Structure 1
Amino acid sequence: MLGQLEGNGKVVISDLEAGVGTLQRMKDEHVDTVLVVVESSTKSIEAARRAAEIGSKVARVIVVANRIGDDEEFEEIRLALGDHEYVRVPDDPAIRRADKDGVAPIDAALDSPGVKAIGDLAKKLSGG
C-alpha cells in the first residue's frame, strides 16, 4: 500500500504494533525513516534495540528516547542501541497534564521541554 503513495511531498506516519514483525517485512524502497520510540525500562530497551537493528537495514533510524528522567537513563539507552540519531524527550509534567486534560501538549504548554523536544524531532524529519 505504501508503494502506491510514492511521490514528492507525500508523508505517511504509521504507529506500528510493538515488536519487530512489521519492520522485518518492510521494503526499503517504501521507507525513508524509522522512528524507534524507547523508554528506560529493560523490556523497552531490548525491543528498541532489535527494532533499531532491523530498521537500520531499510531506512534511516531516529531513536526517540521518551520520558527520560536523567542523563543516566539516556546514556543507558544510547549504550544499548548504539550509533543512531537520537531525540531525547524528557519526562515532562506539562505533557502528562495536557494528556489528562484531553488537550494537545503543543496547545497547553508550548514552551515545555517535552514539546520543544518533539519540535526538534519534527525539524529532523523535515530535514531542518
Structure 2
Amino acid sequence: MADKGNDPAVIWQTMIGEMEKGFNSFGNQLMSSPEFSKAMNQAGGAAAGMQKQLGELMEKYLLAMNLPSRAQLVGMAERLQSMENQLNEIKTLLQQVHHNSLAPAEGYGATPRPPRTKQPPPEGERK
C-alpha cells in the first residue's frame, strides 16, 4: 500500500483544505474593509432604485395596455373575499330562518288540529 505522504487522495484533500483557508482569510480581510461596506451599500441602493423604476414602468405599461396592475388585482381580490364572507353570513342566516320555519306544528303558538272522526268503511263494503 502507498504511504499517506504519497497518496493522491490525501494530497488532494490537503491542497483543498489549504485553499479553503486562504480563501476564507482573503474574504474576511476584504469584508472587514470600509471600502467593501461602502461598495455593497451603493450596490444595494442601486438595485432598490432599479426595482422601483421597473415597477413604475410596468404599471405605466399595464395602464397603456388597459390591464390591471398588481395593486389593483390585490384590491379586487380583497373585495371579492369580503363579498364571499358576506354571502356566507347571509346563507347561514337563511338556513337558520328556514330551519326555524320548519318547527313542529304542535309547538308554541300553533293552532290545534281537529280530531279525526271519519272511520274507514268496513271490510265488506269496500268497492
TM-score (norm 1): 0.15
More helix as a share of residues: 2
State the structure with more CA Rg: 2
* Structure of higher RCO (CA pairs closer than 8 Å, 6+ residues apart): 1
More strand as a share of residues: 1
TM-score (norm 2): 0.16
